[in-house]
Structure 1
Amino acid sequence: MKVKEVADLVGISVRTLHHYDEIGLLVPAETTESGYRLYSEDNLAMLQQILFFRELGFPLKQIKDMIESPSFDREEALALHRKMLLAKREQLDRMIETIDKTMRHAKGEIEMTNKEKFAGFDFSHNPFEQEARERWGNRAVDEANAKVGRMSKEEQHALGDRMNAIYRNLASLRHLPPDSVEAQAGIQAWYEFLQTMGHYTLEAFKGLGQMYVDDERFTRNIDKFGEGLAAFMRDAMAIYADRGKSQ
């Protein structure tokens, strides 16, 4: 099949297929002398696999690494896709039920407990985890996840309270120069907190601060503690890391 035929069949753009070819993710079985890309049945099977991974939120780089691994098994991957999609469907069903109940509650037809209002929400999977893995490697993320996984619910809540306290303290300092004694003491508390969760090098710590500004999702969440906090933390973290590397 030609690239346009594949694009129409699957419902993606020709540009997307060209990009997959350029990065070596899905290379057509053949390219004619006139430059037409021709896709085989094996190509289509691999494209299906890629799109399953994409649907589940995996970045292209990680998909490429996985499918090129000597240990990659397509049947195992499909079984994993099915398991993840069933879990996703179950969560969506719970959220739809919560919406229906909330609409009835708003009309005065039923009463809802506070717990029922949040049924179906699941934040146990960090939406930024894959990006963190891609940028900084698996070690820090795996160590952090393992430590949190071994904690009781009470310990996890205490950890969250500690993290929020650090953010609130930094927010109170954000109008000071980022190289001030107070700001650097606050950032050191953040660095030490992260070190209790996993191993972060000073370079990774500095890069993490830059991500707070580059990624609007981080900026939006951090700035909930105080407008401009993300940019302040970026600057303070860079100063802390550079000073640490020079010692």
Structure 2
Amino acid sequence: MAYSMVDVSGMSGVSLSELGQYAEKGLLNPAFVGQDEDIYYEKPELLRLQQILFCKEVGMEEEEIGPMLRDTPRDMIRIMQQHRIEMLEKALHLHGMIQTLDKTISYLRGEQELDEYELYAGFSNKGRHQLLNEPIPDHASKNDYSEQLKTEDSQKYNANSPDQSTMPDGQEMKTKEDFLDSQAKIDRIHLDLQGAIEEGLEPGSPAVQQIIGRHLDWIKDYYTPTAEIYRDLANLYVEHKNFRQMYDGYHPKLAEFLRDGMMIKAEQDLS
């Protein structure tokens, strides 16, 4: 089915002038010009426009968008999956920001106390150490990352003073030992899940769900997830290449196994 330029502008929210600019820049050419000399778009062009809007949504400049646009279904799927990962990351970040905002509003209303370090939970802080629920760098393996954690700047993990970084919900790792203890907990969880896979257990089995419960408790040390956020995090573990790299270091099926277990846990305990 063909849609006129006015139709496409109405359904997409993109102005006629913007559509004209996309055509001038070669980003979005019409399917054909009708006998009425109007411009028409068909499904491929509508999908391409969606790609453009996704690229703009994640902050790409227009001059960067052209090389990102692909016409083959396989390439389009790959690009869309990347957009999805980026948006999930933003959603998780915004979730933490919303929690901080809600706590501050509640404090200003006199409904609850607010510790000073909670004021900045959720904000991007380049000075803090990497949180345990963040993906490891591209170049680092699981073992490299563990070693990195053990050799962090001693000033950040001085056992006699609070750590400079903070976590949501009033949870603060005060010492290097606290941080390494948390790392040991999640490593133990991953190893137990690896063992469950090797034993042939299902993600929904009581034994595996008990392990997933420990994972949920570990996440709660950082922020309080809703069912939707926990499911999104589960998908991120599978779709983000850095998470996959880490989980593959335990077992090639661990990312999907953990995701499936988290989906069940979200439905049973968080919904």
TM value normalised by structure 1: 0.47
TM value normalised by structure 2: 0.43
Q: Higher helix share goes to which structure?
A: 1
